Structure 1
Amino acid sequence: MKLEPFAHGLATPVHAAHRPNAYRLGGKRLLDLSLCLAALMVLAPVMALIWAALKRGGGPALFRQRRVGAGGRVFDCLKFRSMVPDAEAALCVLRDQDPAIDREWRLNQKLLNDPRITPLGNLLRRTSLDELPQLWNVLRGEMSLVGPRPFTVEQTELYRQAGGAAYFLMRPGLSGEWQVSGRGRTSFADRVGYDDLYWQRLSLAHDLRLLAATLPAVLRAKGQ
């Protein structure tokens, strides 16, 4: 599949197999809005408690990171803060001091035992509660409840080198193939394969299956 440059210096697929249907053209967005609004009404008290706990511990409650969305559009992806303040600077120091950490980061774009994660942040990550603010991203149309894992602007070249293309055709999601199939134990290259697989399977039935599989994955505390 050929890739060409476009806005933001990213790359987007020029040709891709696509079978338009009612769900792809609008049904998926309606599902996102209805389920997201219902989830916010139920989870608002939980989110308020997490916000208060993070603020009491010092530092901001929310972490914003520039991520790549559908069509290569860049947006601020929201999370509850799970790391120490200035975590990005701390990562640079860790990579400079420890070659093993540097290799792990370059391979997986994450650290299995990240020393920057706070005790509360560890709980939030293991239960995926840190991602609840992304419901706002879903309401804004920047994300979907189900879709590929959003990657950072800095990871764009790695994604392209891994052969990724389908990602740019859809909104990234809170849950999806990667999130319920391996989560923290998968490599960055594996994520690209999951994205292409999801694009091929995209349908109402498949999205409902993935949403149903999300809760058991969270209860097993597999998130990293």
Structure 2
Amino acid sequence: MTIDEFLHYYKRNFHRTSSFFVGFILMLVDAAALMLSIGTSFFIINAINNAFINFRSFVTYSVYLPLILIVFYASGLYPGIMISPVEEIKRFGICTFFSFVGIAISIFVDTNTESIAVAVALMLAVPIATVFLPIARQAARFAFGRYRWWGLPAVIYCTGSSGDAVINRMIERTDLGYKPAVIINSGRIAANLYSGIPVFSPSEELLRLIKTFKIKAAILCDYGETDVSDIMQTYRYTITVSKHQTRSVSGSPQIKDIGGIVGFASTHNLTKKTNLFAKRLIDLLLILLSFPIVLPVCAVVSLIIKLTSPGPVFYGHLRVGKNGKSIKCWKFRSMCQDADKKLDEILAHNPEMQKQWERDRKLVDDPRVTAVGKFIRKTSIDELPQFLNILTGEMSFIGPRPVTQGELIKYGEQADYILSVTPGLSGMWQTSGRSDTEYEERITLDTYYIQNWSVWLDIWLIIKTVWVVFKRKGAY
């Protein structure tokens, strides 16, 4: 099969697939299962004593459905593709428990007999819903799995016949959600089709086409570690299946069930629009809350710098931002004038400082730093002008630290992956040791952050940043 033939094949078979549509269908199924669970629990209480509760009144609690479904969404139950049955049941159990308990408590405030009976019925609905919800979902998956519009296309990466078992299972189990769209085989290819699925060798042309189609998922079957790093930059979701692998590539094992074959999922959490919106909202709220404190501090520091050292108050350092775009990271000037020229002279006459600069891109006892500069660096006050970068969207409060063009070589194959997100004022490596952290550890921490991002992780890192600044650890 040629690339052009694959283009027509893909459009014919996958142009109607959508994670939103799959998630929406499962949301409707969940809503029906929830109402059936509540209705069943009301029926049981009514059967015990019809004086306690009006069975038909259960329909009035449908007003709570949107809130419960939002809780389901927040726990990662949508689009609900390839979640292991155990994990799905666990999430349903936790979500329904807290949702129904919350509703029951709000009703229990009114202590008449019917309110107490309703609260008891809602508590009874928790175990019922934990059973009904997975059953309803599985029934929907089996019912809709045979249609072309159900599920999401996935690229299968394998070497030789290493992916045969996974591909066969995905073909047999259409309810799983992912459908093999194309096989990329790095070994010797015996045929250009496998069970009707196109097979290609890796190529730039094919990769460009995959990006054009916006295929979000890849399944890697005994693929090399180096290739894994490259692939994770292209897809939102990757699942690795290996006879020898015992943990996920991301370092946080998220088990995926491929019809009985165990896979380990890695995600790029900062490509999801909802996550990006939440992250941007946090940034704007923090700016709004901190401005009354930050603005007076900036005014005082600006005046002191102007009075104690010739030159501009601010210094714009050229860094590499999201997707390789050049940005100016603003700081209070902490060095003397012509600091860049003086750096060349210092490094030329001091081999130890030369080694330190090449390793860390910083000097512990930098002779170019002014007296005021030492204080604002030690307290991280010199970073406050970067609030402007955050306000314009060039930076975020938390993220991988923006690097210079010269530093990118140290990031190797991970450079493009780390540049795929908005850089941050602080991040995991800063809070783990700030300037004392080695580059290899920085890359590991930044990669972990991207793959495991959550609102709670950002909040925790903001708290840790305040603590690290207070201790003045690793700053110079």
- Aligned equivalent of 1:51, options 302, 308, 319: 302
| Alpha-carbon distance, 1:159 to partner | 2.5
Conserved 8 A contact 2:322-2:420: yes
Q: What residue is the counterpart of 1:204 in the other structure?
A: 455
Highest relative contact order (Cα 8 Å, sep 6+), 1 or 2?
1
CA distance in 1, matches of 2:472, 2:379: 5
Q: TM-score when scaled to structure 1?
A: 0.89
Identity of aligned residues (%): 36
Q: What residue is the counterpart of 1:124 in the other structure?
A: 376
CA distance in 1, matches of 2:355, 2:268: 37
2:230 maps to 1:2: yes
Q: What residue is the counterpart of 1:215 in the other structure?
A: 466
Q: TM-score when scaled to structure 2?
A: 0.43
Q: What residue is the counterpart of 2:326 in the other structure?
A: 74
Unaligned runs of 5+ in 1: 4-11
Conserved 8 A contact 2:334-2:370: yes
| Alpha-carbon distance, 1:23 to partner | 4.7
Q: Which amino acid is the alignment partner of residue 442 of structure 2?
A: R
2:407 maps to 1:184: no
2:370 maps to 1:142: no
CA distance in 1, matches of 2:392, 2:404: 18
2:419 partner SS: helix
Q: Which amino acid is the alignment partner of residue 444 of structure 2?
A: G
- Aligned equivalent of 2:314, options 57, 62, 82: 62
Q: What residue is the counterpart of 1:7 in the other structure?
A: none
Q: 1:13 to 1:86 in 2, by over 3 A?
A: farther
TM-superposition CA deviations, 1:173-200 (whole Å, max 9, x none): 1111011111121223332222112112
CA distance in 2, matches of 1:188, 1:93: 25
1:113 partner SS: coil
TM-superposition CA deviations, 1:48-81 (whole Å, max 9, x none): 0000011112211101111111111111110001
Conserved 8 A contact 2:330-2:385: yes
TM-superposition CA deviations, 1:190-213 (whole Å, max 9, x none): 322221121122110000000011
RMSD (Å) for aligned C-alpha atoms: 1.9
Conserved 8 A contact 1:165-1:196: no
The aligned length equals 215
TM-superposition CA deviations, 1:4-58 (whole Å, max 9, x none): xxxxxxxx94446324556523110011111112212221111000000111122
Q: Which amino acid is the alignment partner of residue 26 of structure 1?
A: F
Q: Which moved more, 1:202-211 or 1:214-223?
A: 214-223
Q: What residue is the counterpart of 2:95 in the other structure?
A: none
| Alpha-carbon distance, 1:154 to partner | 2.5
Q: 1:39 to 1:189 in 2, by over 3 A?
A: same
CA distance in 2, matches of 1:18, 1:151: 20
2:418 maps to 1:167: yes
Point out the structure with max Rg over C-alpha: 2
Q: What residue is the counterpart of 2:86 in the other structure?
A: none
Q: What residue is the counterpart of 1:110 in the other structure?
A: 362
